[in-house]
Amino acid sequence: MDIDSGRHPPKIKIVYCASCGYEPQTLELVSALMHAFRYDIASIEIIPWQDGAFDVAVDGELIHSMYRDGGFPAPETIIRAVRERLAR
Amino acid sequence: MTVTRERFEQGMTYDEYKAQMTRNRDRLEENERTVELSTDDIEFFASLPEPLNVLVITEDWCGDAIANVPILGRLAAESGKLNLRIFLRDQNPDLMDQHLNRGVYRSIPVFAFFDQQFRPIGRWIERPAVITEMQEKMLANLYATDPAFADVAPGTSIAVLPDAPRARLMQAFAAFRAETRLLADREVVRELRELIGQWLATRQEA
């Protein structure tokens, strides 16, 4: 919890298909989030999965799903979603 | 679904492919060693009226490819009638885009069969159909009967799944893979025989 503001820093989950070679996209997104937010996020959880998945959730809300939205998310899309959480 | 002889010959042989693998070679070779092929299966391929050219699209990180490419490798080695050329998916989009799964997905492995004149015979993609169907049924049953999924809608993303059902799902998939391995191997061979059998029947009619 952010002591100054009382806000709960967001928790981010990234699900990637481990049998599809999506490690580079996963690490690119993790790196972008780490550099954008430093201490302002509670955690980034990386979950290896299968069947072509690449999904990202912020505080339990699905921000991107490869099945639903297609393709990989631009890191900026996820960063924007996290910023919106922080602004609430 | 066409390829020229020149483009085909640019692919790697099976041994060249294995030599350049950066991961999972031990798993692939273990599967190659342990897959059970019947005498009837070997004779079917060995008695083909002409050697077939097989264009294989794969990657060494793909689980389905690590499971199924070595089955084709063994069939080729033991029958002497399958001329394999291996292409890496991500370096050969021109070939991959000709063989999209359901016209959309870049699923691998792809086994595309051609006759001696490079006329297409047929193609096989990813995994046996029955295994995909069984997996879907296993998931439906899990969602319907396991208390961990009581408040979870089928198809919920893993990213928003609570810890308990996520752990159950991972256990279920691991058990499914172990339980279906032998059936999956047999189905790969059966489906390949069926595909080539249709070509043989058409050839005899002509």
CB < 8 Å to B105, chain A: 52
ipTM score assigned to the predicted complex: 0.85
- The residue ranges of chain A whose pLDDT is under 50 are 1-3
Tell me whether residues A53 and B158 touch, CB distance under 8 A: yes
In angstroms, the CA B87 to CA B29 distance is 18
The reported pLDDT for the residue numbered A2 is 46
Give the pLDDT of residue A1: 45
Model confidence pLDDT, tens digit, residues B194-205: 999 999 999 888
Distance, CA of B138 to CA of B130 (rounded, Å): 12
Q: So what's the pLDDT on residue A23? A: 87
Whether the full predicted model's pTM is greater than 0.90, yes or no, is no
**Residue the block writes with tokens 């990657």:** B59
Angle at B122 between CA B118 and CA B124, to 5 degrees: 125
The distance of A19 to chain B (nearest Cα, Å) reads 5
Q: Across chain B, what does the average pLDDT equal?
A: 94
A40 falls within a domain: yes
CATH for B5-126 (3.40.30.10, 1.10.10.10, 3.10.50.40, 3.40.50.620): 3.40.30.10
Instruction: Give domain status of residue A3, yes or no.
Output: no
- Using a CB-CB cut-off of 8 Å, the residues of chain A touching B166 are 47
Contacts of B159 in chain A (CB under 8 A): 13-15, 47, 55-57, 62, 65
> What pLDDT, in 10s, does the model give residues B64-77?
899 999 999 999 99
C-beta separation of B13 from B85 below 8 A: yes
Count the domains in chain A.
1
Subunit contact A57:B160, Cβ cutoff 8 A: yes
SS3 A39: helix
pLDDT at A17: 87
Q: CA quadruple A35, A36, A37, A43: dihedral positive or negative? A: negative
| SS3 state at B125 | strand
Evaluate whether residue A37 is within a structural domain: yes
Q: Is residue A18 part of a domain?
A: yes
Measured over the CA atoms of residue B164, residue B155, residue A65 and residue A48, the dihedral's sign is: positive
Token pair in block for residue A72: 């990989």
Owning domain of residue A31: 10-60
Greatest alpha-carbon span in chain A: 42
Would you say residue B51 has pLDDT above 70? yes
pLDDT (tens digit per residue) in B12-30: 999 999 999 998 899 999 9
The CATH number covering residue A40 comes to: 3.40.30.10
Nearest to B59 among A21, A52, A57 (CB): A21
Kind of pairing between the strands at B52-58 and B82-88: parallel
Return the structure tokens found at B173. 């998939």
Cβ neighbourhood burial of B174 (10 Å; 0-12, 13-18, 19+): exposed
Q: Are B111 and B54 in contact (CB under 8 A)?
A: yes
Nearest to A2 by CA among A30, A40, A52, A36: A40
Residue A70 lies in a domain: no
